[in-house]
Amino acid sequence: MKIKSLLPLTTLLGLMWTAGVSATEVTVTLNTISKSMTVVPAAGGETVNIGEPSADSNPVYTFNCDPGDYVMNLFDAKGTPTGSISVSVSGETDNVRLYNISLYATNKTDGIEWQLGKDYDVPFDRINVSSQKGENHPVTPVVYANSTRKVITFPVIIGDSFTATLFPSGDYAEDYAEVTITRTVTFDVSASCTFEPYVTFSLTAPKDAEVKVAQKIGSRHYVPFTYYDPATAVESGNDMVYTYRLPKSSNYNYRVSRPGSITNAGIFDPSKGDITITDAQLNAYPSDYYNHDVAANSGYNYADIYLNINPQGHLHMQPDSKFHIVNLRTWQLTNTVTANYFIEPDYHYTVLGTDFKPDNSVIDITTEGLITAKKQGTAIVQVRYDAMSVDVAGGNLWSSIWAENVGTFVVTVGDKAEGIRSNMKLPYTHENRTGEIDAEHDVFYYMKGEDGFDYTFTPEGVASVSVATPLVDLEKNTLSYPSGFSTEKVSKNADGSYTVRLAFGRNIVCLTDAAGNSVYQVMSAKPASYSVSKAKDVRNDSYNLPGDVLEVNFSGLYHNAGKLAAIYNQGCSPLYSSIPEGYDSNSVKGSGGQYNFPVQQKVTVTLKNDQQPIDFDLSGGCLTFGGFGDKLGGHRDIDYFTGRNPNFTAASQYQLSGVIPDVSFRTDAFADGMELSMSLEFGKSATPVSLAACKLFLGEEMTVTSSDKSIATVDKNGKVTAVADGNAVITYANADGTKRFTCSVEVWSIKVEGIAFKDEVVEAIASTKGTRIISTALIWTPAKPSNQNVTYELSNPDVVSLKNNRLYTIAGKAGETDVTVTTADGGYKATCHVIVRMALEKLAFEESAEELTEGESLSLKPVYTPENTDFKELIWVSTNPEIASVDENGLVTALKEGTASIKATSTKYSYISATCNVTVKAKDQSGIETVGIAGVKAYPNPFTDYIMVQTPVATSTSVYSLQGSLLISASLEAGQNRIDTSALPSGLYLVRIGSETVKMIRK
């Protein structure tokens, strides 16, 4: 089943299949919200008979209907509508699963949740559903009341994504910002959001710089950012201060650009502070700053580009037509390799004629990359981008595009040359590749030092072949085509084929027919090199012996599909199809990387134990492309309108691309008297040669010995262990010693120069139930010396135990000790002080429940287990403080009739709690109760809006909170006085009359 936008009725009727001709079986699975449905033709007509659903928690309908477009109306168990979705039934069996989305806001004011339709709205026209590739899927949402709140709900097919915008309204419309939610659906989704208040944010930059502040809406990639205009722009000396009003907690991005200067950009939260970009920051590097070191930026440092043209790099247009270039930097500058919030650099477009001189007569390109075809003819387009300073995954300083990777394509305005077939194919085929050359993914690598790559093909319908050969200056990072289109690098062969010498960079091959019509193919070529060494540099001699594990390490290869959010996330590795007899993909195995392939590209060769001396040749080489994501070329499906959703259901791909150089090296045989060598760090072990291969040469009874076991030992399996600095010789001999060879071993080490504890004081927690490891990290100087052996000394072994050079607490023991370590290398010492505290394992009260009368107080007595715990500090809380309050010492005061729970929680370590349930009984109110002190009466108690005070002499009165805050102060005359207490909330108060104080309760 496929989802699509419904077409106009006349078109729809023209596309629908004839009813009843070939009914399709359709299975629809509903969800936990929607329990039933109806299906009606989108063009009108009778409701489809779908029968009854299964009685599952997720009901299933199975029915037959004619191919065509339909609307599915969903309902809950009570028959309340839960939304509709438009679907298209194909001519084959269809199976679809529908989930329901529930949209709502979680904001609360004074504890009351905002209400849909009163405090916020969700316009139905701001709800969009699309497939993973961005195809529109129309739905009809409804307002739906679930068991908790009113929500907006609508059905979505599994794997689809939706975008919905919610708007604050009513009292909140001015001070809160709209929210856009984007999700990819794999189950019923309660898509809640919180409206954020606006905050004021400023960005300061030089006056001559262009400033942009934008936001990525939702999780969809490649759609344009939402840009914000500043509320104010004020000059401040040589700067401009731009002030914005933005939602508080959303992530935004900024870009500050100036011709000739490096672009400064970043992702920011406006609530975290203002941003200033200085003139010095912009001038720190030029816009064409260039770094060709692939090891920089954590191995992500390559500057290539993808364009949405086609595999040929030849775009055909008609006069007055338009085409929007989608250009993508790779390595893509993402905040993280999983979150994929990326910022593109500033792009520039150059239009050239076929003579490689600037010429805008055939096409025109705007600064946004929109091509307009003006007249018939051919133009060449080059796409470049500037350097950027932006803190993203891998680093914060990123090169402008490398000259050899400048985006290059040809535009022909007018009719195609229909009679030409290039037949330009890769020298291999694969089930997922047609063999056609791809201008971007296929790179033809040749050995560094050679003049280029010779590519041979046999075209049809061609009168001539020419090539525009790039000239790349790596030092200046410049690109030119000094000879234009020329036949200088083209040879026509006797069999009718042509051989083109491809040079470093983007070559443009032109095939022209007898009438002068041409087609073009862009082809990339790059130099590469390799070296052969023993795996992990076990031996440093020049022999490649039977059983050796060799590494063919490449330099100059690049990932054939560098990471692009939601599109490419696969790994890349070298592969050879032609290998010596007796070897397979396990013994000749390529490896590479997913993200930093340029710095880890190799083929591992495990030589057979009986390998004879030969020229070991690997040919038919290419790069593999494997993992979850799009196929090669998937980036060309991107457009800036629909973008791409995160691809959580991506299929696994495996494809081949490009050509890599052949590899050849010589293998050797064991020989009597052979001298091998190796270098081994102290404490490390390695096996210099395969013992199984040795036995084929020396016999099963062979021996292996060390000349100095104090320097290096060797076991019966041939594993050598470095024991101390110095030199030793490992001898391999047959049983009678008449045939032998040796391996000299140099043992070296990085010497210790000092040691310290990371923390001078370390705290640990002991328990009564067992031991616990005490973490005491050491800091070595230098950071990784070879010999990291130490000995420990404890000043108080009754508190801390030592086992296998690790410190442990002792069950039930608390206290303090000094810990001293001494290095085996150099005898350096360091000391730290360890404090072991006893854990709190259980907390209780002497009584789990108490009963009090209004006005009474009680001190709760906690019981700690173990009694000697170091964690007796508690936080006290009452669940109903208007019934019974509690102070920081556990004093509970009964305020009014009811129940409350008093909870005490330890403030550190385990945060263990105990609870006492308190019941407060009302006082007997049968008569007026007064408080009399030295002839003074204060009543009633409890009181409401006033207190009556009777005193024989003039004096004063004050009312305090239990925390000692003065709330009321008044003068009293001799006789009857009325004190206004209407402003006091319910609770217990201290009333001071003259020099006497009484407790009184406000109801």
Q: CATH number, domain at 247?
A: 2.60.40
Instruction: Examine the domain organization and report whether 57 and 183 are in the same domain.
Output: yes
Note the pLDDT of residue 934. 62
pLDDT at 911: 82
The answer on 976 and 893 residing in a single domain is: no
List the Cα angle 101/102/104 in 5-degree steps: 140
Burial class, 759, CB count within 10 angstroms (exposed 0-12 / middle 13-18 / buried 19+): middle
Q: Which residue has the higher pLDDT, 650 or 411?
A: 411
Does residue 198 sit in helix, strand or coil? strand
DSSP state of 361: S
Q: Which of 838, 860, 886 finishes a domain? A: 838
Q: What digits encode the pLDDT tens for the residues 517-560?
A: 999 999 999 999 999 999 877 899 999 999 999 999 999 999 99
Does 361 lie in the same domain as 225? no
Same domain, residue pair 826 and 886: no
For residue 304, the number of C-alpha atoms closer than 13 Å in the C-beta half-sphere is 24
The region of weakest confidence among 15-19, 406-410, 493-497 is 15-19
Predicted confidence band at 371 (pLDDT cuts at 50, 70, 90)? Answer: very high
CB 540 within 8 A of CB 746: no
Q: How far, in Å, CA of 732 to CA of 720, rounded?
A: 12
Q: Which residues contact 564 (CB under 8 A, 6 or more apart)?
A: 306, 328, 330, 332, 635
pLDDT at 636 over 80: yes
pLDDT recorded at residue 454? 98
pLDDT value, residue 2: 35
Tens of pLDDT, residues 772-829? 888 899 999 999 999 999 999 999 999 999 998 899 999 999 999 999 999 999 999 9
Task: Evaluate the CA torsion angle 336, 342, 345, 347 in order and state its sign.
Answer: positive
Q: Look up residue 843 and give its two tokens.
A: 């907390």
Please state, in angstroms and rounded to a whole number, the distance separating the CA atoms of residues 819 and 836.
Answer: 12
**Contact (Cβ atoms closer than 8 angstroms) between residue 341 and residue 268:** no
- Asked whether residue 4 is domain-assigned, the answer is no
pLDDT in tens, 61-120: 999 999 999 999 999 999 999 999 998 888 776 788 999 999 999 999 988 999 999 999
Residue 549 located in a structural domain: no
Q: Are both 965 and 985 inside the same structural domain?
A: yes
pLDDT at 741 over 90: yes
Of 212-216, 425-429, 475-479, 512-516, give the lowest mean pLDDT range: 425-429
Euclidean distance between CA atoms 975 and 501, whole angstroms: 118
Query: Does the structure show a pLDDT above 50 at 950?
Result: yes
Where is the domain boundary, 838, 872, 893?
A: 838
| Within-domain flag for 693 | yes
∠ CA 612-615-619, rounded to 5°: 125
* Interval 197-207 mean pLDDT: 96
pLDDT digits (tens, 9 = 90+) for 866-899: 999 999 999 999 999 889 999 999 999 998 889 9
Sheet of 490-492: strand order equals 453-457, 498-502, 490-492
- Whether the predicted pLDDT of 9 surpasses 80: no
* Total number of domains in the chain: 7
- Token pair for residue 811? 């069950």
pLDDT grade, residue 924 (50/70/90)?
A: low
| Nearest by Cα to 547 from 744, 731, 718, 742 | 718
**Rounded alpha-carbon distances, angstroms, from residue 1000 to 148, 895, 943:** 42, 10, 8
Mean pLDDT across 430-444: 88
Q: In 10 A of CB 969, how many CB atoms?
A: 11
Task: Indicate if 869 and 970 belong to the same structural domain.
Answer: no
E strand or H helix that includes residue 693: helix 691-698
End-to-end CA distance of the chain: 68
pLDDT at 652: 87
Residues 313-338 pLDDT 10s: 999 999 999 999 999 999 999 999 88
Average pLDDT of span 427-445: 88
Radius of gyration of the chain (CA): 40
User: What's the pLDDT at 649?
Assistant: 67
| Lowest mean per-residue pLDDT among 187-191, 370-374, 570-574, 597-601 | 187-191
Mean of the pLDDT values across residues 913-927?
79
Residue 204 makes CB contacts below 8 A (sequence gap 6+) with 236, 239, 240, 241, 242, 274, 275, 276, 277
Q: Which two tokens stand for residue 220?
A: 């969809």
CA 866 to chain centroid, in Å, comes to: 45
Instruction: At 913, list the tokens.
Output: 């709690």
Name, in order, each residue with C-beta under 8 angstroms of 773's C-beta and a sequence gap of 6 or more.
806, 807, 808
pLDDT at 596 over 90: no
Higher-pLDDT residue of 665, 642: 665
Q: Are residues 744 and 761 in the same domain?
A: no
The stretch 37-47 carries a mean pLDDT of 93
Do 171 and 274 sit in the same domain of this protein? no
Domain limit, last residue, from 283, 308, 333: 283
Mean per-residue pLDDT, 827-856: 92
Q: What is the mean pLDDT of residues 173-186?
A: 88
CATH of the domain at 719: 2.60.40.1080
Nearest CA among 331, 347, 351 for reference residue 385: 347
- Residues 254, 398, single domain; the answer is no
Closest CA to 594 of 564, 624, 563, 619: 563
Burial 43-80 (b: 16+ CB within 10 A, else e): beeeebebeebeeeebbebeeebbbbbbbbbbbbeeee
Map 558-605 to HEC letters: CCCCCCECCCECCEEEEEEEECCCCCCCCCEEEECECCCHHHCCEEEE
Please give the residue range of the domain that contains residue 783.
754-838
pLDDT at 594: 87
% of the chain surpassing 90 pLDDT: 74
The 3-state DSSP class for residue 635 equals: helix
Q: Name the token pair of 302.
A: 């390559």
Q: Say if CB 94 and CB 88 are below 8 A apart.
A: no
pTM for this structure? 0.72
Which pLDDT value is given to residue 707? 98
pLDDT at residue 607, rounded to an integer: 97
Contact 333, 392 (CB under 8 A): yes
pLDDT-based confidence at residue 3 (cuts at 50, 70, 90): very low
| Type and span of the H or E element at 282 | helix 279-283
- Can you spell out the DSSP letters for 373-414? E-SSEEEEEEEEE--EEEEETTEEEEPPPPGGG-EEEEEEES
Q: Please give the pLDDT value at position 926.
A: 41
Question: Dihedral (C-alpha) 906, 909, 912, 918: value to the nearest 10 degrees?
Answer: 10
pLDDT digits (tens, 9 = 90+) for 133-163: 677 889 999 999 988 899 999 999 988 889 9
Coil vs helix vs strand at 206: strand
Q: In which band, very low, low, confident or very high, does the pLDDT at 931 lie, cut at 50, 70 and 90?
A: very low
**Token representation of residue 737:** 């010693």
Residue 637 lies in a domain: no
Is pLDDT at 925 greater than 70 in this prediction? no
> What are the residues whose beta carbons fall under 8 Å from the beta carbon of 535, sequence distance 6 or more?
549, 550, 551, 604
pLDDT at 10 over 70: no
C-alpha 617/C-alpha 68 separation (Å) is: 59
pLDDT at 960 over 90: no
Whether the CB-CB separation of 132 and 649 falls below 8 Å is answered with: yes
Choice between 944 and 705, residue whose per-residue pLDDT is larger:
705
Task: Indicate whether 849 and 834 sit together in one domain.
Answer: no
Check: CB of residue 260 under 8 Å from CB of residue 288: no
pLDDT of residue 14: 29
- Residue 8: its pLDDT value, please? 29
Decide if 982 is inside a domain: yes
Higher-scoring residue by pLDDT: 608, 183 = 608
Q: Which residues pair with 816 in a beta bridge?
A: 835
Which has the higher per-residue pLDDT, 154 or 598? 154
667 assigned to some structural domain: no
Instruction: Please give the distance of CA 573 from its chain centroid, rounded to a whole number.
Output: 23
Would you say residue 649 lies in a domain?
no
Kindly state whether residue 617 falls inside one of the protein's structural domains: no
Phi and psi at residue 697, to the nearest 5°: -95, -40
Query: φ and ψ at 280, to 5 degrees?
Result: -65, -40
Strands (E) located in 16-59: 24-29, 36-41
Q: 157: Cβ–Cβ under 8 A, 6 or more apart, which residues?
A: 1, 3, 85, 96, 97, 98, 99, 137, 185
Residues 831 and 887 in one domain: no
Domain identity same for 305 and 272: no
The number of residues in the chain equals 1003
